[in-house]
Amino acid sequence: MFKILRKRELAPDIYLFEVEAPRVAKTANPGQFVIVRAYDKGERIPLTIADYDKRTGSVTIVIQALGASTRVICSFEEGDSFVDFAGPLGQPSDFIHFDPDKINGKRFLFVAGGVGAAPIYPQLKYLKERGAVLDVIIGARSKELLILLDEIREKVDNLYVATNDGSFGYKGFVTCVLEELISKGNQYDQVIAIGPMVMMKSVAESTKKYSIPTIVSLNTLMIDGTGMCGACRVTVNGKIRFTCVDGPEFNAHEVDFDEAMLRLNMYRSEEQKRLVDIERKHHKCKIGRTM
């Protein structure tokens, strides 16, 4: 069992959980993820690691209540436990293999959409400590859905915020800000985009025009997360790759996003049905929390 040490509401329906998982914390690196199963009849859900503390043995994840399972998870409180918390999974971000002098003074631009602002945090921390120059664009539908702004501002050189409805920062998509920064003459050695698939796709299209190396962290469907089923397979540079073992980070300009977005919808109707079921039950009892 993996105890929830701290729970914090970041935005409506978006929660941060700090979880006691010493083995995961000890070997975690930026870019990796965990698979969480909250309760006995629950499903296995992949979540990117949003922070980790090797000293205290805790790992932070951020969850948005979107579907049936995430809704139940978000009702968990401090002191409750997840039945399973497996990781760290996937390949760490490429830059952890770089020489320190290859990071020092290099300019990175992070583009984060929605809860994608959480997984960029350990990456920013890592790069900041090694002297990188960091620009970040964070986007959300509206002001109240922006998360972790203060934490991120502390780690970066320039922070740009965009909301679709204009309730905070630029009005529009993160890609508009990205295009503007580039057209103003900002030079970047590396762009890293994390967020909804459609957002990562349009970031990839923008940066391809300017030939800026770009990495995306794919959020495909997953079950085991260890390479044994291929539910998370994507086409990268014409080859079948498994996101859970070969990724989750890939060269954005090589990913077949249209296929990946289609595959993400494979269980859309089952998910909708489940959500209705669980909402009906959820009002009466805390479903699934029979341990």
Residues 145-166 as b/e (b if ≥16 CB within 10 A, e otherwise) read: bbbbbebbeebbeebbbbbeee
Q: Closest approach of Cβ 245 to other proteins, in Å?
A: 8
Query: What span, in angstroms and rounded, lies between the C-alpha atoms of 244 and 231?
Result: 9
| Interface pattern 70-99 for other proteins (x via CB under 8 A) | -------------xxxxxxx----------
Sheet harboring 33-37: ordered strands across?
A: 45-48, 33-37, 84-89
Residues in 186-245 that interact with other proteins by CB under 8 A? 223-224, 226-231, 233-235, 240, 245
Interface of this chain with other proteins, residues 32 to 71, rule: CB under 8 A: 37, 41-44, 68-69
CB of 151 to other proteins, least distance (A): 26
Residue 125 or 274: the one with the smaller Cβ distance to other proteins is 274
Closest approach of other proteins to the CB of residue 54, in Å: 13
Q: How far is the CB of 208 from other proteins (least distance, A)?
A: 22
Q: Which residue's CB is nearer to other proteins, number 113 or number 225?
A: 225
Structural element, H or E, at residue 236 = strand 233-236
Q: How far is CA 13 from CA 61, 165, 220, in A?
A: 14, 19, 21
Residues touching other proteins: how many (CB under 8 A)?
Answer: 40
Segment interacting with other proteins, rule: CB under 8 A, options 6-14, 177-185, 191-199, 257-265: 257-265
Cβ neighbours of residue 154 closer than 8 Å, sequence gap 6 or more: none
The beta-carbon contacts of 237-245 under 8 Å, at least 24 apart in sequence, are 243/90, 243/218, 244/46, 244/89, 244/90, 245/90, 245/91
Q: Does residue 229 have a known ligand-binding role?
A: yes
| Binding-site ranges for other proteins (CB under 8 A) | 23-24, 27, 37, 41-44, 68-69, 83-89, 223-224, 226-231, 233-235, 240, 245, 259, 262-263, 265-267, 270-271, 274, 288
